[in-house]
Structures are given as structure tokens and as C-alpha cells.
Chain A
Amino acid sequence: MPKKLPKLLRNSLFLGAFLLFSMSVSFAQQTITGKITDENDQSVPGANVFIKGSTTGTTSAADGSFSIRAASSDTLVFSFLGYKMAERRVGNATTLDISMEPDARTLNDVVVVGYGTTRKSDLTGSLASVTAKEFEKQPLTRMDQALQGRAAGVQVNQTSGAPGAGFKIRIRGANSISGDNAPLYVLDGLVVGDINSLNVNDIASMEVLKDASATAIYGSRGANGVILITTKQGRKGPAKVEFGYFTGISNVVQKLPFMTPAEFAEGVNFAEGKEFYTPQEIDALRNGGGENWQERFFKTAHSNNFQLSVSGGSDAMDYFISGNLYDTEGTIIDQDYRRYTLRANVNAQASKKIKVGLNTFLSHEKSSGNRVSLSGGLTWDPTTPAYDADGNFNFNTIKPGVGNGGINPLVGPLNNVRDAYDNRVTLSGYANYDISKNLVFNVSGGLDRFESEANSYVPLFVNNVGNARVFNSSVTRLQNTNRLTYTLDSNPNHVLKIDAVHEQQLVTRQSLEATASNFFSDLTAYRDLSLGSIQRTQNNQSDESLQSFLGRVNYALFDRFLFTASVRADGSSKFRPGNRWGVFPSGSVAWRLIEEDFIKNISTISNLKVRASYGLIGSQAIGARATRAIPIVSPDVNYPLTGGSNTVGVAPSSRLANPDLTWETTRQTNLGVDLGLWNSLLTLSLDLYHKKTTDLLLNSQLPSFVGPTVVTRNIGAVENKGFDISLGLRVLQNDDWNINSTLNVSRNRNKVLALVDDKPIELGNEYIGTTFPVNPTRVEVGKPISSFRGYLFDGVYQLDEADEAAKYGRKPGDAKYRDLNNDGIISTDDISTIGDGNPNFTWGWNWDVTYRQWNLNFLLTGSQGNDIYNFQRGRMMGLGSGQFHAVHADYLNRWTPDNPSNIPSSRNSIELLSSQFLEDGSYTTLKSVAFGRSFEGDLLRKVGISRLRLYLNADNLFILTKYRGFDPETTASGGSDVDLGIDYSTYPINRSFTLGVNVTF
């Protein structure tokens, strides 16, 4: 039990669960037992059995058996996904064996596509589907975890180990250089901003739309791919109560190698060329003293997750209500995260023609704590203990000016206040009207509002001033979709479906920032800004809107030839009239070869379909007002002209206006094949694709001397090509065993085809303060969007190379960089592309092994061929603008005349930007492994429990990598695509062990 979870809440959760399950116990006259089997006489576990017109029911056990008490006048209803519902009158029977008939329609899994659903067998585009069944065995807290390694063509990176944060999802690579490459998230038909706070337990399925035929229906927002998230709905039948709880501990396992305090002191003496530390001081350090900062910063973190849901329904109504509480600490000190979510999905058949529904979702997240900086903190002086003999902080280093210039890295995290709250409301409703048998009119709409409050305070105790900040921001999305669907399916040889849609969306963003400083008391922290004598406020608002018209035709000829054509026209407020509207057409065909006699007769082939698609998709993934040069109004342009107080200033924009800006367009071709062999023992889905993005929304960098520093232009082209393979294998399936394995492999090659005058551009962030006037990454024609640049490091000038070193103004012991153009100087002309952060391929391999009640589920993921620029190591070697002395254990092997190593012992001007700090970031990790056992039976049934599952899970149990930093998966660049794979002060991923229970009442 978490010590922080209020007892009351804990108790009420259990009480609620108890009350709900006791309701489902009712009285009946006789016990009917039986067994449910499928068309192949295989037992069907988990089927619903209930008394018609009541809420009494049960589910079948692993061997398909069931037991229910009912009156002879009752009718039992049997239902199971993919099978036709069966009804049997009880009469005098005490045993009822049921053989369920497959439902042709649902056996061909229905998948959600843009603005509708379709049979999987009717798909003409490329789509990856992940259903709850595939991930529900793992204790997940976020939806991105559910996607990771499970969908081909989808790259999910955990960019940070911080609680409640840090995933990056890319579908088939990055198209855009300046624009956002995150996919579009559509939650139950509503386009939502982000999916961080979603409760993964509410998700029924996620469909990832990858090719143009699937995404072009989303027009200007589809180019990065679309993830359709469908939440769970109640099913007709008695109330089903599900309760889940898990608790876990996490640790940072990989640690970095440091020198001991005494070794550090010797290193300082070496670097300074004089005796900073006396031999006596060094001896004292050798005998103890100093500090191990790494041990101070990391800790074992506890987490708890409670999940409770109730679902059910009748002929007229169904409901799904779910609540979740997730509470976790960080593995870095003083990082806490808590999330509450609540969902209620309700559908009602208001009349024979009218169906309405409402999905509501609320979440509240709290994250608190001031994170210690792993860059500045781990490199702080190890000879100064965190606390002095009296238990007070040693604020500064005992020897002035060693390590780096910060204050004791524990002071901030242990004294500063940070409380951040995120609230989300997502409401989406629809009304469906059957105008006639073939024509359906659907109006839907929704609101997604996200509010964020970030509060912080640095007390007087830390900086003698007191700085408070309150930052409130909100994003409100309003959407309305009106759809007419015409279906003509009376002749099975000619099935036609036409959709016509009008959609509109409005997004408004607001922010308000208030800061105050010079407090005289720490008592109220950020809660009363008026206590600070200097106060500033800043606010901002912007809006963007979109109007869309779209149409789609699906036509199936003889159930063999499938055609889909769609077109969408989007008008965006981000562009000026004249450039505002974009049209995005697509078309695709599929041929179900399995329906052809010449294939049908080959008994080994159980499914064969080939697909081809082509289409145009757009992107407008830039901020509002990107076409305009907006003057700067902010405290940063004010000045005390009259001495003392500021005069308010208005400065010209740092952006050059470009009224001609318009859509970025991606043309995508996809060829795919779906194959099933030996009665679907082996299934293979292979897709080859080629994407070319033109008219890139490119933030071109202007030289600072022209004034404005950036202009967004439609220039350049980027290509992505590759393949996605999804291989499913039913290894073993019999009464006792069920072993399934799925392997996904994705390969994407990204290449920049054209830029402004084909000159390389730099767009990445600076990661180490002002360390690089040159960015470590750049965008270059012929290379992937993000490629690393730097000098080529050739080790250290040795004693016998003194003459050569002298030519470059260097001496033995200095770093040796390659003079690429042989001009006798090492200048920026010798900077070259030395690697890139894009993997050659990524893969995920999921295994699910069930033996009777036992289940083992594990997921291996990997990435091959990506480089990482390890600037964390660079700083630990004492380099960069913020660091004075080395702390890394490598420094022990520094070059000296007696130790002719290849680790430079002096500092020059190039320092970090070289291949010395480039490393191979390939890895293979056991992402998760869950081992569980299900319990069913009379004993449990007597207390109302139809199913109980206990499991033990481990995340990131091992990682195989040559990478020398904490973690090859996390990155400082977060969601950025122009500077992939930079490691600096990143929060490493944790190894977690979780113990959990799921109970179904």
C-alpha cells in the first residue's frame, strides 16, 4: 500500500468493489451446468452466459464450462465476440452444452477506420490494429506502452524515465523538418491534442492508419499517420465489474562510472597544473569523505495503480464506467506523480431510427518536485559532502571553483517547490439517424479541453531572493462532424458504401504567466505572488480553425476486388486566403486472391490478399500565425530609460512574414500483401511504402545580420521509404497450451531530397547552454533529417607526433582532429557528418504462452544502427561551457607522457563536438515480461468472483547495448526529429517489478 494514498480513498475503493459484486448475486431455482465449444469443438473460455431480461450471468471457465442458477422459465443467452449470440430455454435441463456458430461478419474482425468501420478482410489500405487483448496482461499505465513493439511501422520511444512523461511516436518516419511529426490522435472520432492522460484500461482497440488510402481521409492532418483510439463500450448483459490493482518498485539499474573523490582531487591538480588539493587532503579523501552524488540522486520508487470498471447494458442502453488512480514516485529524488481518471461511455437506442451516445472523460494529473539536474548535479564536486558536520547543506564547494559553478545539487530539489496540475475534459457525443435502410445521418461533436497549471517557487533559503512563478495555460478543441453514409449491399456481388462528411474544428490556446521575485518570506511560496516586490505578467492567446469537406466510396466487386477512393478538402486559418484550401485525394485497390479458385484449392493458404494504394496527404503542423511577423511585446524588450523602473517596449518580430505559405504535401505509395498459411497458423502482413513530402513547411534560418532570424517557407523535399512486416505465429494450440508469437519489424530510410539552395540547415536545440554556436545536428541534402556533425577525433597526439601537433598549434596530450581538407588548420571546414540518430530498423517480438491457468507474456524490443551523441559523458570528462573539471572514471586513463592513452588531458576549443562522444545506440531490451495465473471455479464463484488473475511483471529486465550512457532509449531531444539521439541530462528508464491482481465479478 502506498503510504501516501489516503486511507479513506483506499477503503472506499474496496467498499465500492464489494458492493458492486454483491449486487450481482441473486436467487435462482436450479443450477445449470454445461460446456461451450466452437465450431471445431474447441472449448470457448470467457463467453458470457446470462438470463435473458435480467442482470444475472456468468462467464465460461478456461475449459469452456459454466454453471448458473436459473428458473425453468428463464432463457439463457450465450454470447462471445466473433460468434452469433445463442439462446436456450432452460426448461427442465440441468446441463446445456452449446456449440457456437461463428458470426461471419465479426469473425472477419471489424476494425475502425477513419469516419467508420470496416471488415478487416475488406481493407484496402495499410493499418495496424492493437486490441486490448494484446496488452491487457501487462500492468500498463499509458497508451504508448501498449503500442510499443506491437504495431509494425510504428516507432514508439520512451524518451524519459520521468513519472508520467516522455514518449515519442512516429509512424513510418518523419516527413517534416520544421513541422510536428506526431501522428494525429483521434479518440472515439474526436481529434484530441495529446493522449498522455488517457487511461489505457479504457481502450478497446487502437488502429494505426499508415498509408495514404487510410490517412488521406484526414487530409491536412493525416500525413504523419493517424492513431484511432476506440474506448470500451458496455455490452448487452448483466453488469460486469472488473477490478485491478498493482503495486511496483522501480530502480535505475545502469549507473555511470565516476572517479572517487580522491581521484577527482588528483585530476583537479593535474588540470590546474598546481596543487589545489594537498597530499594530506587527498589522503583524507582516500580514507573516506566526499560524496557519491549518483547514490544521492537515485532511489527506489514505489507505484500503485487502482482500476475499477463497471459495464453492462440492455436492449436500449449500454454503459461503461471506469475509474483509475495511478500513483508513482520517480526514481530520481523528489519526483512524484499522481493521476486520476474517470470515464463514462453511454449509448442509447432512443428510437428505432435514433441512436445517441456520449463519451465523457476526465483526468487530473499532479506532478511535483524539482528535479535534480543530472548534467550539473552528477558533475558537481565529489570532494564536498552534501551536508556539513552539523547536518547543514554545504552550499558551495569546499574548494572554490572545482567541479562546476552550481550550488550543491541537492539544495534545489530538497527546497524548491514545484506543483504542476494538468486537467483534461474530453466529451464526445453523437446522434445517429437511420433515414432509410441504406442511408444514415450521423452528427457528432465534442470538446477536448486541457488545462495546465505549473507553479514553482525558489525560496530565500536557496537563492536569498525568492522567485515564484505561476503559469496557466489551456487548449480548447471544439469539433463538429456531420456524416451521411449510403450503403448498398443487397447484391453481395456489388457492395457499395459512400460517405459524405463535413467537419469543422476550432482550437484556442491561452496562457498566462505571472512571476514575482524579491520575497521577504518563504511562507506562502507561489501561492501569494504579491509578496514579491518585483512582479511580471505575460499572457498570450491564439486560435486556429479548420473547415473540411470529404467524401469516400468503397466498392466491393464479387467480394474479390475492393476499391476505395476518397477526397478531402481542408481550409485552414493558418494560411492566408488564396493559399488556404488544400485537396487531398487517394485511391486504393485490393484483390482477395483467396476467393479465386486457383488459390482456394491450395489447402495450405488460408488467406491471401494483395493491396495497392496511392494518395496525397497534407500537413499544416505549424503554429498559428506562422505567416506573420508579429512584434515582440514582453518584459524582455523593456528598459529603464529613466533609471529604476522599466519603460515598455515593442520590438520588431524575429520572424519574417511569409503570406505565401501553404500546405506541405506528402505523396505516399503503398504495396501490401496479407497471407495466412495452414489455417492461419502463420499470418504475414508485409507493406512496402514510399513517401515523398514536398513544399515542406520549413523554418529557414536566416543569418543574424539580416534582422529576423527565421522564416517559414514551403521549400524542400523529404523521402521516407521502407517496409513493415508483421508476422504472427500460432506455435501451439490445444486444450492445455496456447502459444502465440508476433514479430514486428519496421525499417524506414529517411532522406532529405532538397532544401533552400540545397544548403544544409541547423534547426536543433542547443543542449548544453551556450556550448555550441554550431548545432550538433543538421539537416543536409542526401542525409536523414537529423544527422550528427562534428570533427573526426583521431585520439591524442603522442610524444612522437610533437612535430605534427605543432603544425596545428597543438602539443602531445592534446586531442587530434582530422584535417579533412588538408589545409593545415582545423577549422569548421573539417566538420563533417559523423553519424545519425535514425535506426536502420526497429523491432518488437511479443510472446504469449498459456498453459491451462498459467500465462507468460513477454515483449522484446530493439533498435539497430542508431548513433547517440553522448554529451553527458563529454561534460563528465570536464568539457563544455558549464564544467571545470572531469568526474568520469575515463579521466583516470588520461594521456600523460607515461600513459600514452587516447584520452586527451588538456582542454582545447573544440571539446564536445567530435566523434569522441559519438556512440552506437543499438539495443535489445526485454521490455516487459508478465507471469500470471488465473483462478476460476466454484469456490470463487461462491463469493461472486468469476475470474481472478494474479501476476508478476518486470519491465526493462535487461538491456543489451554497447552504449555507455545510462540508457540508449531516452534522449534529451524528446519529441524532436531534427536532433535525434542526444544524451544530455536525460532521465534514464527504470527497471520495474510489479505485482498485480485482476478480479472480474
Chain B
Amino acid sequence: MKKHINKFFLLALAMFVSQSCIDLEEDMSSILTIENLRTENDVVAALTPIYRQLYETHRNPHYLRTATYGADDLTTWEAGNKAPLRVFDRFDYGSGENSDIMWLDHAWDQYWRIIYFSNSLIDGLKTANAPVAIVKEADAEARFFRALSYFNLVRTYGNVPEILDGEAPTGKEQRATVLQNYQQIESDLLIAEANLPKPGATASVGRVSSAAAKTLLADLYLTWGGWPVKDAARYPLAAKKAKEVIDLNFFKLLPIDQLWRLENQNSRESIFAVQFSPTEDLRSSFPTAFSFHEARGYSDAFPELQFFRDFPAGPRKDATFATEIPQRSVASGAIVTRNPATLPWEKSQRAHPMYKKFTLSEDITRGDRTVGYRAVELYRYAEALLIFAEAQARVGETAASVEALNQVKRRAAGLPYLTPNAKVDVTTATPKEIVAERGWELAGEYKRWFDLVRTESVAEIAAKRDPKENVDLVRMPTDAQYIAPIPFQAISTSELVQNPAGFKIK
């Protein structure tokens, strides 16, 4: 009997051993691929991360603006944790130093990620089975974002490597020239403007239109005409593209006191804006960055005193700046108002006004800091008008170009913008005056620094800086400060050459 038990046991063991076998293939059934885009939904799913990345890029305005603090529309807290912003505010760079400071890499990394996502989509669409019209439109959309990203990269850091769809990393990538970057951006935008839907043609408020591509193209040409490439033949093209946007007769200027309200996001003035969502709690830090600590913000960005003083008085100034600084505190997790509820800006902690345009739409019910959900404007109709006015003025102003400028001025004065008004209208304007007007109109909107660089007026503006500004200048800026150092991580992991040695215009 015992013997039988032994035999059975051995047999059972042998059976067990022979029957249990573990497979060596990885289970991939939970993995989705983007190699086959079959339907419109597939295409939209592949497009969505590009937009999301745009949101990531823009939701923290001070990170994105780090390298643009040299302009007079931005300064920062002279103490506290704003060292990286002060580096640029005080021109403490230019020979390759301070490439390893925090926040400088934000724009770099985030824009390259948009380019990566766009490249992947453009590449995937080449073999997509989705309907041709959908493929074409998505391709145009991806090209728009690729162009937008390259444009901001080349303006901020100088010439960058050209990484396009279908290219595998080699580790040997080199920086192209500024001109090559411009040409690539132009070629993408020409396709985008042709294939993108007209503004208002889509129900998706967040999606990009041909008008956005035209405006970006106009902006590119305007930049191309200035420093560093200085190809004046691009100004007429800038004027032409901006005029095409105006001639769509789709866009409007909103009354200036209405413009920055939450409910007026995605209005007819908005050519393209990044979306936020209270439903999904996708927040923007605009109110946080542009509010002082006493208002439950982080004191990251506020206007320089001279810029504020020079800003023409009127409804636009009132809509742009907050001169009464809210005094707030936190109790039981919620923001509460102190007594007194506000202090005049001179008596505030930072002794500067704040940007009302970014705090007007704030939400102070979401925790202990002020936050926002308003869409962030990348291109407004006012800018299209001003690009047209300036570009045309550079090649010979016309009645139409002066009218475009006047429309912006009338709206700034709180007047109906389409009705001529002798009190504010000008009959002629120099490009320099129009650039100044752009400064007022687009203050704090991530434009002013690039205007000063392309018109080579950084030093001129820095010379006007109020000596009472608490952030002391390390040096008077020259063209060495026109571009930021390339973030250290990119230099240390690749063969790119740091600025200024690696900066190549043509």
C-alpha cells in the first residue's frame, strides 16, 4: 500500500511539473498604439496631447516668461525665491553663465515636447487610414503648433536644431541657423494657413484656425525683418498676412473694460487662446503669479515703475493695472479679506502696481492661493491690427494701416473703435511709436521682450529704468543679452554649442 502511495505521488508530481509552464511573452493587451489612425476619433486623440502640452507650457506664466524679464513690462520681487527671474531682470547672463538656473528650462522643455508630439502626429498621419480631409486638417494643426514652438524657441534661445517628423534621434544633432529655423517655420505655416478651417468653422473653441496661422506667420515676418536676420523684404509679407486676418471681417475688439473678464474668454477678439477648465480643475497660475503675497499670490511678475508711469492714462491703463492691492488672509482653508480690504500700490509689499488684466478673472475659492481658469490669449485681434500697422509703416504707411492703429487707440480710450475720433486718432505714426503702442496694448502678454529685441531697443529701455527699482542691474544690456543661454541639460546631453559661440544667424 505504502509503495502505491509513493508511486502515485511521484506520478502526480511528474504530471504537475510537466503541465505547469509559464509563457515568456509580454502581455501587451493593455497597450494602445498610435501607429494606426483609422477614424476621426483616433486623430483627435493623437491631437489632444499637443493642446494639453500647450496648456502645460502656458499655465505658469512666470516660468515661461523667465528669459523675458529684461523687458520693462516685467520685474519681480527683489528678495524671496525669485533668483532665476532676477537673473534676467538684471541682465546677469550673456556669456553662457546662468544656464543652470531653474525655470529657464521650462520654455525649452515644454516647447520641444509640443514639437515631439506634433512630429509624431505628422509622421503617423502619413500612413493613416482616416478620411483625407481629417488627415489634412490634423496635419495642418500639428504644423501650426510645431511652427509656434520653433518660433518661440528661436526668439528666446537663438537658433535651435531642426527636428522634424520621421527623424530618429542620432545624438549628433547640431543647431541650424536662425534663418533656417525661420524658413522651416514659414513652410509649416504656409501649409497650416491653407489647410486649417476658417475661424468659427469649428465648434471646438479651443482649436486653431487659419486666422491663427496667418497671424503667427505675420508675427514671424515682422520678427524676420528685425534683429537678428533683418530681412526688410519680410515686412510687406507681414503686412499682407495681418491684413488678410483683418479682411476676414470675423474678429472684433471688445470694450477694454470687458476684455479680461472670464466670461469674455474666447470672444471675437481672441484669435487663439489656451483653454483652462473649472470642470476638470485645469487651473492657470496667472492670478497667482501676477498677485502679491498680501493678495494671496506669489509676487512673480509686475510692471516696472517707469513702464507704469509712461503708460498713457485712460481706460486701458485702468483695465491693465490694479493700483489698489487686495489685502487677504486664509482661515479654515479659504481666502478671506483683511481690514482694510486694499492698500494703495505705493504702500503695498512690493511697492508696485499689479497686472489687473490677469487678476480680474481670478478665483479665490480654490484653496489658499488665488488661481484662474480664464483662457490665455496667445494672439488677440488687437495684435493683428498692430502687426499690420507696424509692418506697413515700415514699408510706407497707408490710410488702412493708420486706421488699424487708431482702432486700437480708440478702444484703449474707451471709445467705439470703428468710429473715427479726432481726440485720439493720429494721422501718421512711426514704427517706433507703434512698437510703443504694442507695449501698452500687449503689456505682460509675453510680447514686449521680443519687440525690444527685434527692434534692438533693449538698452534704450533699460536706460530709462527707475533707479528706485529694487532689482539692481548687473550691467547695461547689449546684444549679448538678446538671447538666453540654452538650458544646461540640453548642452550636457548633446553636441549643441552654448551661446554665444553657438549662435548662428545665417
Whether B163 contacts A638 by the Cβ 8 Å rule is no
Kindly list chain A residues whose C-beta atoms are within 8 Å of the C-beta of B6: 351, 353-354, 433
Total contacting residues, chain A, CB less than 8 A: 115
Whether B102 contacts A773 by the Cβ 8 Å rule is yes
Q: B506: CB under 8 A from chain A?
A: no
Q: A461: CB under 8 A from chain B?
A: yes
Closest partner residue, chain B, to A478 (CB atom): B22
Whether A649 contacts B49 by the Cβ 8 Å rule is yes
CB within 8 Å of A: which of B104-134? 104-105, 108-109, 112-113, 115-117, 119-120
Whether B205 contacts A400 by the Cβ 8 Å rule is no
Kindly list chain A residues whose C-beta atoms are within 8 Å of the C-beta of B280: 534, 638, 640, 644-646
Whether B102 contacts A433 by the Cβ 8 Å rule is no
A913 to chain B minimum Cβ distance, whole angstroms, is 7
Q: A884: CB under 8 A from chain B?
A: yes
Closest partner residue, chain B, to A518 (CB atom): B281
Q: A856: CB under 8 A from chain B?
A: no
Q: B311: CB under 8 A from chain A?
A: no
Determine which of B48, B108, B349 lies in contact with A639 in the assembled complex, contact meaning CB atoms within 8 Å: B48
Whether B368 contacts A464 by the Cβ 8 Å rule is yes
Alpha-carbon distance A396/B298, docked complex (angstroms): 13
Kindly list chain A residues whose C-beta atoms are within 8 Å of the C-beta of B51: 639, 641, 649
Q: B55: CB under 8 A from chain A?
A: yes
Alpha-carbon distance A664/B266, docked complex (angstroms): 55
Kindly list chain A residues whose C-beta atoms are within 8 Å of the C-beta of B27: 541-543
Q: A651: CB under 8 A from chain B?
A: yes
Alpha-carbon distance A547/B34, docked complex (angstroms): 32
Q: B314: CB under 8 A from chain A?
A: no
Whether B279 contacts A463 by the Cβ 8 Å rule is no
Whether A642 contacts B205 by the Cβ 8 Å rule is yes
Determine which of B10, B83, B266 lies in contact with A433 in the assembled complex, contact meaning CB atoms within 8 Å: B10
Kindly list chain B residues whose C-beta atoms are within 8 Å of the C-beta of A400: 292-294, 329, 349
Q: Mark B456-500, 1 if CB is under 8 A from A, else 0.
A: 000000000000001000110000000000011111111010000
Q: Is chain A's binding surface mostly helix, strand, loop or mixed? A: loop
Kindly list chain A residues whose C-beta atoms are within 8 Å of the C-beta of B97: 825-828
Closest partner residue, chain A, to B282 (CB atom): A640
* Stretch in B331-339, B405-413, B445-453 touching the partner: B331-339
**Given A639-B51, A770-B102, A705-B112 contact (CB < 8 Å):** yes
Q: Mark A127-154, 1 if CB is under 8 A from B, else 0.
A: 0000000000000000000000000000
**Given A547-B24, A633-B32, A704-B108, A881-B81 contact (CB < 8 Å):** yes
Q: B184: CB under 8 A from chain A?
A: no
* Stretch in A69-77, A557-565, A894-902, A904-912 touching the partner: A904-912
CB within 8 Å of B: which of A561-581? 571-574, 580
Closest partner residue, chain A, to B29 (CB atom): A541
Alpha-carbon distance A639/B44, docked complex (angstroms): 11
Most chain-A CB neighbours within 10 Å: which of B47, B101, B203, B487?
A: B101
Kindly list chain B residues whose C-beta atoms are within 8 Å of the C-beta of A546: 22, 24
Determine which of A464, A760, A773, A910 lies in contact with B365 in the assembled complex, contact meaning CB atoms within 8 Å: A464
* Stretch in B13-21, B224-232, B254-262, B377-385 touching the partner: B13-21
Whether A273 contacts B102 by the Cβ 8 Å rule is no
* Stretch in A52-60, A106-114, A624-632 touching the partner: A624-632
Q: A435: CB under 8 A from chain B?
A: yes
Q: A441: CB under 8 A from chain B?
A: yes
Whether B489 contacts A704 by the Cβ 8 Å rule is yes
B123 to chain A minimum Cβ distance, whole angstroms, is 9
Whether B329 contacts A464 by the Cβ 8 Å rule is no
B399 to chain A minimum Cβ distance, whole angstroms, is 38
Whether B496 contacts A703 by the Cβ 8 Å rule is yes
Q: B502: CB under 8 A from chain A?
A: no
Alpha-carbon distance A518/B335, docked complex (angstroms): 16
Whether A708 contacts B116 by the Cβ 8 Å rule is yes
Determine which of A351, A354, A505, A708 lies in contact with B169 in the assembled complex, contact meaning CB atoms within 8 Å: A708
B33 to chain A minimum Cβ distance, whole angstroms, is 6
Whether B49 contacts A541 by the Cβ 8 Å rule is no
Q: Mark A690-722, 1 if CB is under 8 A from B, else 0.
A: 000000000001111111100000000000000
Q: A802: CB under 8 A from chain B?
A: no
Kindly list chain B residues whose C-beta atoms are within 8 Å of the C-beta of A771: 102
Determine which of B5, B104, B169 lies in contact with A773 in the assembled complex, contact meaning CB atoms within 8 Å: B104
B121 to chain A minimum Cβ distance, whole angstroms, is 8
Whether B367 contacts A465 by the Cβ 8 Å rule is yes
Closest partner residue, chain B, to A533 (CB atom): B279
Kindly list chain B residues whose C-beta atoms are within 8 Å of the C-beta of A625: 26, 31
Whether B368 contacts A705 by the Cβ 8 Å rule is no
Kindly list chain A residues whose C-beta atoms are within 8 Å of the C-beta of B277: 640, 643-646
Most chain-B CB neighbours within 10 Å: which of A400, A541, A774, A829?
A: A400
CB within 8 Å of B: which of A750-772? 756-757, 759-762, 770-772
B252 to chain A minimum Cβ distance, whole angstroms, is 19
Kindly list chain A residues whose C-beta atoms are within 8 Å of the C-beta of B204: 641-643
Closest partner residue, chain B, to A630 (CB atom): B31
Q: Mark A867-906, 1 if CB is under 8 A from B, else 0.
A: 0000000000000111111000000000000000000000
Alpha-carbon distance A774/B112, docked complex (angstroms): 18
Kindly list chain A residues whose C-beta atoms are within 8 Å of the C-beta of B248: none
Whether A656 contacts B169 by the Cβ 8 Å rule is yes
Determine which of A642, A703, A831 lies in contact with B489 in the assembled complex, contact meaning CB atoms within 8 Å: A703
B482 to chain A minimum Cβ distance, whole angstroms, is 17
Determine which of A465, A541, A572, A829 lies in contact with B366 in the assembled complex, contact meaning CB atoms within 8 Å: A465
Closest partner residue, chain B, to A442 (CB atom): B13
Q: Mark A643-669, 1 if CB is under 8 A from B, else 0.
A: 111111111100010000000000000
Q: A504: CB under 8 A from chain B?
A: yes
Q: B416: CB under 8 A from chain A?
A: no
Kindly list chain B residues whose C-beta atoms are within 8 Å of the C-beta of A651: 49, 52, 117
CB within 8 Å of B: which of A552-606? 571-574, 580
Kindly list chain B residues whose C-beta atoms are within 8 Å of the C-beta of A4: none
Q: A392: CB under 8 A from chain B?
A: yes
Whether A632 contacts B49 by the Cβ 8 Å rule is yes
Q: A271: CB under 8 A from chain B?
A: yes
Binding site for B on A (CB under 8 A): 271-273, 350-354, 392, 395-396, 400-401, 404-405, 407, 431, 433, 435, 441, 443, 459-465, 478, 480, 482, 502, 504-506, 517-518, 534, 540-547, 571-574, 580, 624-625, 628, 630-633, 636-652, 656, 701-708, 756-757, 759-762, 770-774, 809, 824-829, 831, 880-885, 907-911, 913
Inter-chain pairs besides A641-B207, A707-B115, A907-B79, 10 sampled, C-beta below 8 Å: A400-B294, A465-B281, A504-B21, A624-B26, A631-B33, A647-B48, A652-B117, A705-B173, A881-B103, A909-B92
Some 12 contacts from A to B, beta carbons below 8 A apart, are: A273-B79, A407-B368, A433-B10, A460-B333, A461-B332, A545-B23, A547-B22, A632-B49, A643-B206, A646-B277, A703-B496, A773-B488
- Sorted nearest first, the 4 A-B pairs with minimum C-beta distance are A401-B293, A649-B48, A707-B116, A651-B49
